[in-house]
Amino acid sequence: MRNIAVIGAGTMGNGIAHTFAQYDFKVNLIDISEAALEKGFSTISGNLDRMVAKEKISAEDKENTLKNITTYTDIPDGVKGMELVVEAATENVDLKLAIFKQLDDVCDEATILATNTSSISITKIAAVTSRPEKVIGMHFMNPVPIMKLVEVIRGYNTSDEVTEITMSLSKTLGKVPVEVNDYPGFVANRILMPMINESIEALYNGVAGVSEIDTVMKLGMAHPMGPLQLADFIGLDVCLSILEVMYNGFKNPKYAPCPLLVNMVTAGKLGVKSGEGFYEYSESKKAEKVAKMFI
């Protein structure tokens, strides 16, 4: 398996494409927006430059990585002949279902269809296809080129063979795959999102301020980043979406999103991506923080 397509050129999509291409896979990066593709390719190039500057890779490695990536704005053309398609579109269930219906229609019969969803049911996504045994979750962590973990999520009908291939493929990328079953939030976000939500509740109830809450968790619990700052990097809209999936999936009030989180998303305060969340981010500060992730 050397031919991979990635759907979506955003933060996760370009990171996934970068990682596969760096390990000499031929990658088709697909997005409906030419501007998004240009921005995604530029991000990959910039991240590779930082890795060259830190002597983690050579200049030749960078050029070979970029040569391994081809961009497309059309899904049928982009997935033709691909052995694996990794969907990394926005965390929206209707969008993902529509993409997988189309992929099922246009991909080769043997093609494995993976989703980078961080919370949505793999079984539900697989159910809109005629190949549920070939649908699996590959939940990469951000930033993808740096973070080692891949949650490999089996749907109800995912075959043993596809699971084994996905686990092996993740190891080929230098990742540590962990197999989990298909429940809302899987493992990572089932534990992480309630912590972030409770941190927002503590702020909402006036227990402490933003920097105080983050400092307690960094210095007291040895977290590299406080939960409120982490929420800003994930995207407050993404955090809200994941919490809603878990709340609707489990019908348990402990997963109900904090009203402050709901209001901030409604007001467009989404974190780093919008320039303001629990912290403020100028363009220079955003670039500096992203660069630090690649040190």
Q: How far is CA 99 from CA 70, 113, 217, 219, 238, in A?
A: 20, 11, 39, 43, 19
CA gap 165, 268 in Å, rounded: 40
Cα 265–chain centre separation: 19
Closest Cα to residue 210, out of 194, 231, 240, 224?
231
Contact 195, 146 (CB under 8 A): no
Check whether 74 is labelled as a binding-site residue.
no
- Any idea which residues carry the catalytic annotation? 118, 139, 151, 189
Check whether 8 is labelled as a binding-site residue.
yes
Look at the block and give the residue holding tokens 């070939």. Answer: 134
Check whether 179 is labelled as a binding-site residue.
no
DSSP state of 142: S
CA gap 287, 275 in Å, rounded: 11
CB burial of 196-207 (b: ≥16 within 10 Å; e: otherwise) equals: bbebbbbbeeee
Helix (H) or strand (E) holding 132: none
Check whether 226 is labelled as a binding-site residue.
no
Check whether 254 is labelled as a binding-site residue.
no
Contact 20, 64 (CB under 8 A): no
Cα 71–chain centre separation: 19
Q: Is the peptide bond before 76 cis (omega within 30 degrees of 0)?
A: no
Check whether 9 is labelled as a binding-site residue.
yes
CA gap 17, 72 in Å, rounded: 13
List the alpha helices (DSSP H) in 127-258: 160-172, 188-204, 210-221, 227-234, 236-250
Check whether 164 is labelled as a binding-site residue.
no
Structure tokens at 16: 């996934």
Check whether 70 is labelled as a binding-site residue.
no
Check whether 91 is labelled as a binding-site residue.
yes
Check whether 138 is labelled as a binding-site residue.
no
Check whether 11 is labelled as a binding-site residue.
yes
Check whether 31 is labelled as a binding-site residue.
yes
Closest Cα to residue 243, out of 259, 260, 261, 257?
257
> Residues annotated in the binding site, as ranges?
8-13, 31, 91, 96, 118, 142, 273
Residues contributing to the annotated binding site for NAD(+): 8-13, 31, 91, 96, 118, 142, 273
